[in-house]
Amino acid sequence: MMSLYALFYFFIFISFSTSAAAPQPHVVFIMADDYGWYDVGYHGSEIKTPHLDSLSASGVRLENYYVQPICTPSRNQLMTGRYQIHTGMQHSIIWPCQPYCVPLNETFLPHLMKKSGYSTHMVGKWHLGMYMKDCLPTRRGFDSFFGYLTGSEDYFTHTHCAMVSTNLSRCALDFREGEEVTNAYKGSYSTELFSERATSIIQTHNPKQPLFLYVALQAVHAPLQVPMRYLSPYGFIKDHNRRMYAGMVSAMDEAVGNITAALKQSGLWENTVLVFSTDNGGQTMTGGSNWPLRGRKLTLWEGGIRGVGFVAGPLIKQPGSVSHELIHISDWLPTLVALAGGRTNTTKPLDGFNVWSTISEGHASPRLELLHNIDPLFEDHYPCEGNGGNLTLAQTDSGKSWTYSGFNISFHAAIRWSNWKLLTGNPGCGAWFPRPEQNTSSILDMRPLKPVMLFDIDKDPQERNEVSAKFPTVVEYLLGRLAVYQKQALPIIYPDNDPRCDPGPAGAWGPWA
Ligand SMILES: *[C@@H]1O[C@H](CO)[C@@H](O)[C@H](O)[C@H]1NC(C)=O
Ligand SMILES: *[C@@H]1O[C@H](CO)[C@@H](O)[C@H](O)[C@H]1NC(C)=O
Ligand SMILES: *[C@@H]1O[C@H](CO)[C@@H](O)[C@H](O)[C@H]1NC(C)=O
Ligand SMILES: *[C@@H]1O[C@H](CO)[C@@H](O)[C@H](O)[C@H]1NC(C)=O
Ligand SMILES: *[C@@H]1O[C@H](CO)[C@@H](O)[C@H](O)[C@H]1NC(C)=O
Ligand SMILES: *[C@@H]1O[C@H](CO)[C@@H](O)[C@H](O)[C@H]1NC(C)=O
Ligand SMILES: *[C@@H]1O[C@H](CO)[C@@H](O)[C@H](O)[C@H]1NC(C)=O
């Protein structure tokens, strides 16, 4: 009898202590760069991704998950939980010599995690501005930083080439340990370098303190560089770019496998939420594929913004499920801060939602609408090969006014509401690129674009049937929503290059102001 009572009280004690002081989960966020929809095994790719496949199968695959079409904007929204129109960063990426960063009056995710008692570490690519020291990751909430500050760079030498002014291009080192420049890792392939560093952070972490680890891999952005050993399974891929890219994906898959293994070996895994996300769609010019989706990186078509993403870890209540609920990259901040037991009442108004019960338990997403972007300065620097980028605005417009329902339809913009997606202006290259290794004779199915286009994404995820003429009320409603958002938009921050950025022949990219 005694022992039964003891057991009874023991259980009471256990349930009390766990519910009273729910342990804060460790959060590991792995971001891939330019990783396309068709480049993961579980979407049918010819590229082998055993670790991503099994890890996501043990968690929740997010199949209606959106990111931004390019790098800085996705990372910006991840860090702030806010749309680009609300930070003045609706246009393009931050080029190395532009003197700006995500406004310093924005609160970053790691800062909020730190306030909740987390140890916060970042490994990999920043790309959120660095012209002055206050913009650096270590000043925006990360206890440690190991990686690079700009966009693409060489995977081995860690140098980045950029225009300093109209007549000067500079190639210089971009690699830092904390805030200090280091050339100690020259020759190491960054996918291995970053996974090794992430692994060692995990192995030396004090398990009593909650960990927030952000691993922003360089993989699988161009340039196409990969150690030979990752290429060996891909002799069957004839296209050179695709073969190199496949090898890079294999290295990335192994990196994720190593990081997960380290979490398991260190015992942290039992209390870890792991998120994997791409930053934007694949770049077809450098081996990526978003088949069967339309468009690619840099465009507002699904191929640019519907992202590969999943969540794994033992805290998920319905492991092994697939979510078709609408989720966006701006949702991670409120979701992860809530998991950390933190508060978001000190940030500016968020555009993201806490989607944890959607992910973990399959509840309906609190998100009904998603502003993909409004960028009045958009210029199509990467039109489709051939003629797919030509926009014939005059076709449906009388020429009197570009403004409908209060919104200027010459602006590059897109908005999603429930199953509907409305696009205005030039969304960027709208080709349906063929499946890799398939007959390319039907390659670019060119159709003239219209200034206002409506698609039923649930029924038509490939954006083949433009239905604006059939649903004028939906069109009017969504143009009105775009007008409301555009009224809230901050003036675009996009300064000219400051030649003082020049690191000189022997220096490194970094703060100059
Ligand atoms: C935050 O900074 C941005 C960019 O400098 C500025 O446009 C905005 O007005 C600021 N917001 C507040 C609330 O200070
Ligand atoms: C580069 O161009 C600027 C003006 O555009 C000029 O002042 C400068 O002398 C030029 N520098 C060189 C090295 O040609
Ligand atoms: C994964 O770990 C193995 C064993 O330590 C190592 O040989 C390999 O290089 C690692 N891969 C990556 C991508 O870091
Ligand atoms: C945020 O919420 C907490 C708890 O409700 C409260 O104590 C705190 O004062 C709030 N902070 C602000 C800035 O509203
Ligand atoms: C697209 O525009 C280019 C440049 O203006 C022009 O040469 C080409 O003929 C156009 N293609 C179509 C299909 O209109
Ligand atoms: C709409 O935007 C275009 C391009 O920015 C501009 O040229 C035009 O004047 C605008 N139209 C109206 C009515 O504001
Ligand atoms: C490619 O498609 C064309 C036209 O449909 C067909 O004639 C040809 O045999 C196909 N080639 C291959 C390699 O499948």
Over residues 79-95, the mean pLDDT reads 98
From the CA of 257, give the closest atom in ligand 3: 1
pLDDT tens-digit readout, 270-319: 999 999 999 999 999 999 999 999 999 999 999 999 999 999 999 999 99
Q: Ligand 4: distance of its center to the CA of 498 in Å?
A: 41
- Domain-embedded: residue 15: no
pLDDT tens-digit readout, 482-491: 999 999 999 9
Q: 272 with 324, same domain?
A: yes
Q: 148 with 195, same domain?
A: yes
Which among 97, 164, 167, 502 is the best mutation to test ligand 2's pocket, defined by most ligand atoms within 8 Å of the CB? 167
Closest CA to 36 of 412, 298, 331: 298
pLDDT computed for residue 395 by the predictor: 43
Distance in angstroms between the alpha carbons of the first and the last residue of the chain: 74
pLDDT tens-digit readout, 324-355: 999 999 999 999 999 999 999 999 999 999 99
- Domain-embedded: residue 19: no
From the CA of 87, give the closest atom in ligand 1: 3
**Cα separation of 7 and 3, whole Å?**
6
Final residue of a structural domain among 367, 394, 409: 367
Q: 191 with 316, same domain?
A: yes
Least confident interval from 169-173, 261-265, 371-375, 428-432: 428-432
Which among 439, 442, 443, 445 is the best mutation to test ligand 7's pocket, defined by most ligand atoms within 8 Å of the CB? 439
- Domain-embedded: residue 89: yes
3-state secondary structure of 76: helix
Q: Give, in degrees to the nearest 5, the angle at Cα 46 between 45 and 52.
A: 55
Q: 277 with 353, same domain?
A: yes
**Cα separation of 373 and 83, whole Å?**
8
Please indicate whether residue 103, judged by its CB atom, sits closer than 6 Å to ligand 1: yes
Q: 231 with 246, same domain?
A: yes
Q: 261 with 180, same domain?
A: yes
From the CA of 193, give the closest atom in ligand 3: 14
Over residues 71-91, the mean pLDDT reads 98
Higher model confidence: residue 156 or residue 397?
156
Please indicate whether residue 387, judged by its CB atom, sits closer than 6 Å to ligand 5: yes
Over residues 4-9, the mean pLDDT reads 49
The pLDDT confidence band at residue 10, using thresholds 50, 70 and 90, is: very low
Q: 362 with 376, same domain?
A: no
Is-catalytic flag, 328?
no
φ, ψ dihedrals at 164, nearest 5°: -90, -40
Q: Which two tokens stand for residue 505?
A: 């022949």
- Domain-embedded: residue 141: yes
- Contact partners, residue 149, CB within 8 Å, separation at least 6: 126, 127, 130, 136, 174, 176, 509, 510
Whether the model pTM is above 0.85: yes
Please indicate whether residue 490, judged by its CB atom, sits closer than 6 Å to ligand 1: yes
**Cα separation of 399 and 403, whole Å?**
10
Instruction: Work out whether the CA dihedral 250, 271, 350, 118 comes out positive or negative.
Output: negative
Q: Give the active site residue among 86, 127, 160, 221.
A: 127
The pLDDT confidence band at residue 439, using thresholds 50, 70 and 90, is: low
On the question of pLDDT at 210 being above 50, the answer is yes
Q: 284 with 200, same domain?
A: yes
pLDDT computed for residue 382 by the predictor: 84
pLDDT computed for residue 438 by the predictor: 78
Q: 201 with 308, same domain?
A: yes
- Domain-embedded: residue 7: no
Please indicate whether residue 489, judged by its CB atom, sits closer than 6 Å to ligand 1: no
| CATH code of the domain in which 477 resides | 3.30.1120.10
Q: Give the active site residue among 26, 71, 86, 135.
A: 71
The pLDDT confidence band at residue 65, using thresholds 50, 70 and 90, is: very high
On the question of pLDDT at 443 being above 90, the answer is no
| CATH code of the domain in which 199 resides | 3.40.720.10
- At position 104, the amino acid (one-letter code) is L
- Domain-embedded: residue 321: yes
pLDDT computed for residue 393 by the predictor: 52
- Domain-embedded: residue 12: no
Q: 460 with 314, same domain?
A: no
On the question of pLDDT at 444 being above 70, the answer is no
Q: Ligand 7: distance of its center to the CA of 433 in Å?
A: 16
Q: 445 with 305, same domain?
A: no
On the question of pLDDT at 417 being above 80, the answer is yes
Please indicate whether residue 343, judged by its CB atom, sits closer than 6 Å to ligand 4: yes
Relative to beta strand 168-173, strand 159-165 is antiparallel
Helix (H), strand (E) at residue 403: strand 403-404
Q: How many distinct structural domains can be found in the chain?
A: 2
Percent of the chain with pLDDT over 90: 85
Q: Are 272 and 263 within 8 A, CB to CB?
A: yes
Least confident interval from 90-99, 120-129, 380-389: 380-389
Q: 266 with 395, same domain?
A: no
Please indicate whether residue 191, judged by its CB atom, sits closer than 6 Å to ligand 3: yes
User: What is the span of the domain harbouring residue 445?
Assistant: 371-488
From edge to edge, which strands make up the β-sheet containing 452-456?
Answer: 369-375, 412-417, 420-424, 452-456
Final residue of a structural domain among 351, 367, 383: 367
Q: Ligand 7: distance of its center to the CA of 105 in Å?
A: 57
On the question of pLDDT at 501 being above 50, the answer is yes
On the question of pLDDT at 386 being above 80, the answer is no
**Whole-number mean pLDDT of the chain?**
92
Over residues 389-400, the mean pLDDT reads 50
Is-catalytic flag, 384?
no
Q: Ligand 4: distance of its center to the CA of 362 in Å?
A: 30
The pLDDT confidence band at residue 14, using thresholds 50, 70 and 90, is: very low
Residues near ligand 7 (Cβ within 6 A): 439, 441
Over residues 219-241, the mean pLDDT reads 97
Give the count of beta carbons closer than 10 Å to the beta carbon of residue 12.
10
CA 124 to chain CA centroid, Å, is: 13
**Cα separation of 199 and 206, whole Å?**
14
φ, ψ dihedrals at 362, nearest 5°: 80, 15
- Domain-embedded: residue 18: no
Which among 90, 402, 405 is the best mutation to test ligand 6's pocket, defined by most ligand atoms within 8 Å of the CB? 402
Final residue of a structural domain among 367, 396, 420: 367
The pLDDT confidence band at residue 449, using thresholds 50, 70 and 90, is: confident
